[in-house]
Structure 1
């Protein structure tokens, strides 16, 4: 560069024009993460309480697995995950979630979103349509759009995804993404009738369903709900789950259960992406599951989180009656508080931040229709005895 000259900076609009179509499409998703409060903040979404995690047991397992790996036993990278973990996951899902699967159908991924992405790359063409829940999970929407497919917002009501609405909007869609056990973010459970309608549509249209079962381990009211995959006789469902919500987020370990006919194509798509999970973590989680510690931890945290759910719902109903309406929360790690029409969502969120609460606006989960105002409150990282105090302080701020 010539001395004394200075390259002019392009205007922000010019910079943006150099983005790819996908970059422009997903830029708002990236912007939505700017300024979010850390996951350790009270009422953050989907954050487990690590105080109750059996750290001593986990550390002993890690040390044993590290010694085995250091001794050079089975050092090969396994694209779909180590066999012991695939076996442990399949066994758990068959008994706990009612799946029909074998270890050979299980793929281990660095988080469930990675599995959704590989599935989308395997099944969707750039001109295909995909049903997405409205409101729904932004990260799933992002990876479907990353593929270049057209996303079709399908409304969710008290019975889950409205299949009739999906049929009216895009009857020949190639894929549907759903969270049937605990809809994200509304918390409703998809009814049996809707599940059957969705499966029938997939079979008739030769379409696929991604079932994201992100926190179904925590069911507080009523009997456990069989996964959608367990009802699927035509093998149209790709089932995704994660360990991060049950154990700890830094684990970054999830799994995908695929119909046998998809396994080869899915694996071929995954290979060049290098989406491998560390063997040490895989081996440790496998031992944690096979020795019964995983199930015991789930049971303990289910009881603990139920108490927190109850405390939060009671506090909201007592101290913010008239201001909010508490949504369905039979399971999961969060609940929805719908705001009264006279309340401004942004103003309520500001008041919540001032008292140390990291809440998510319900409106941010809408992507194609008029948004409903409300609050998403994660209750799993706040002790039961502290919950009411936060709600009292928020109520005082709101006057």
Structure 2
């Protein structure tokens, strides 16, 4: 009888009658976890199956089944005439226990990119959508019914979207994008020049991996989008910072300081966050530098759809006669961020390389999403949506400027460019923008400080606010709340 009582007490074994998992599986999983975590060490003898069965209120046959399964998996072993033991072949001190004893500050062994990624932030899209959140389209005006109809048209076809897609993206979507670019951006291309990616950042990543090696230089506007600069640094590139003025990137200065850079990342249609456009002389100088130095230009066509004074500006790619521009676009702002569809328009010489690399990295963007988007564009709904949003954002921009100019008098100066979804609020009296942001957040609004976007340059304090997600009738109220926040010391 004494032998039957030998073995450790196992207080961690608990049966939960409120879940669907069978009782034998609950015991089996808990014993396995206890062994892996070191609570039951190698060589430990378990209580007899009859004793365990009585303690847990199970049949002995059930416990025997559990022990036999764990023996088959290698966690337990039977010793003739002695009982059941935790397998002696397992490490006596599991890896998790050894790591805990050395301290939680011991970093894991990472790749170079893994190490670089630890020092930057990738948080995006987790910000609560409060009034004046930058870069936020008017999601309340999205044509959900039409989009759902396009989606249903696609899925009604059965298994069309259930397999792997073309590594470059579905041909019908590439055709629709090419038609849109030719008609609305005055930038015709062959659908074969287009590669579909899971968003804009995936497009940038693909271009960098295909065209540059770690340590190569890339011209980057300062200030510039922080998530993109973090991405480029993480990929091992050397950021060659170029100043930005009223005419966009200072190309002449960059040519003198960084003549041997491999890439240039530029937002010529609308710089983020300053809202300026790259002048034609500077565009031509940038193209000539790329041609002469066999460098490449990544053109981020940021917010090009939403220009309120005249037609959208032509892209740089449309005036590139030497095939040095890689054009990147996405549907995150034009439709909604969660759609995660971007694209590249490539010089013909790069198409094969980018297709192969995209297939190796991304495999394909979800086919049903691509087909629904192609249906949405092909049915004329995308162009109609852009027209409606352009008109709506223009009204909200004017309402924000009118309300803010009055409410913020003496506190800040407004800078509403003629395109995009955001405005800059330049703070008066040398106020520091991070402190001002904290006051705005406490007031229940949202904004970003300009200093978060600057790397080496020094600029006056400013806040970036988005007006596109604020209804016109609420603009005056929120502007007064903003003014009250900024008036606090």
How far 1:275 moved relative to its partner? Answer: 4.9
SS in 2 for 1:255: strand
Partner of 1:67: 156
Larger radius of gyration between Structure 1 and Structure 2:
2
Q: Which of the residues 94, 97, 103 maps onto 1:10? A: 103
SS in 2 for 1:370: coil
User: TM-score when scaled to structure 1?
Assistant: 0.93
SS in 1 for 2:210: helix
Relative to structure 1, is the Cα distance of residues 63 and 188 closer, same or farther in structure 2, using a 3 angstrom cutoff?
same
Partner of 2:297: 209
CA distance in 2, matches of 1:368, 1:11: 34
CA distance in 2, matches of 1:137, 1:397: 26
* 1:25-36 alignment, distance < 5 Å: 25-30=116-121, 33=123
Gaps of 5+ in 1: none
CA distance in 2, matches of 1:86, 1:101: 10
CA distance in 2, matches of 1:59, 1:320: 42
Partner of 2:309: 221
SS in 2 for 1:8: helix
Partner deviation per Cα, 1:126-173 (whole Å, 9 max, x = no partner): 231100110011222233223312111111110001001211221111
Relative to structure 1, is the Cα distance of residues 337 and 22 closer, same or farther in structure 2, using a 3 angstrom cutoff?
same
Partner deviation per Cα, 1:312-359 (whole Å, 9 max, x = no partner): 122222111232222351101111112224312122112211222110
* 2:221 and 2:249 in contact (8 A); partners too: yes
Q: Which of the residues 459, 462, 465 maps onto 1:377? A: 465
* 1:1-399 alignment, distance < 5 Å: 1=38, 7-8=100-101, 10=103, 12=105, 14-15=106-107, 18-30=109-121, 33=123, 37-38=127-128, 40-68=129-157, 70-72=158-160, 75-399=163-487
Partner deviation per Cα, 1:211-260 (whole Å, 9 max, x = no partner): 11131110001332101111111111101111121111211111110111
Relative to structure 1, is the Cα distance of residues 73 and 383 closer, same or farther in structure 2, using a 3 angstrom cutoff?
closer
CA distance in 1, matches of 2:126, 2:376: 33
CA distance in 2, matches of 1:322, 1:243: 38
Partner of 2:20: none
User: TM-score when scaled to structure 2?
Assistant: 0.76
How far 1:362 moved relative to its partner? Answer: 0.6
Q: Kindly report the root-mean-square deviation, in angstroms, between the aligned alpha carbons of the 2 structures.
A: 2.2
* 2:434 and 2:451 in contact (8 A); partners too: no
CA distance in 1, matches of 2:152, 2:126: 35
Moved more, 372-381 or 110-119: 372-381
CA distance in 2, matches of 1:86, 1:34: 27
Instruction: Select the structure with the greater relative contact order (CA < 8 A; seq sep ≥ 6).
Output: 1
Moved more, 42-51 or 84-93: 42-51
* 2:411 and 2:486 in contact (8 A); partners too: no
* 1:88 and 1:289 in contact (8 A); partners too: yes
SS in 1 for 2:311: coil
* 2:436 and 2:486 in contact (8 A); partners too: yes
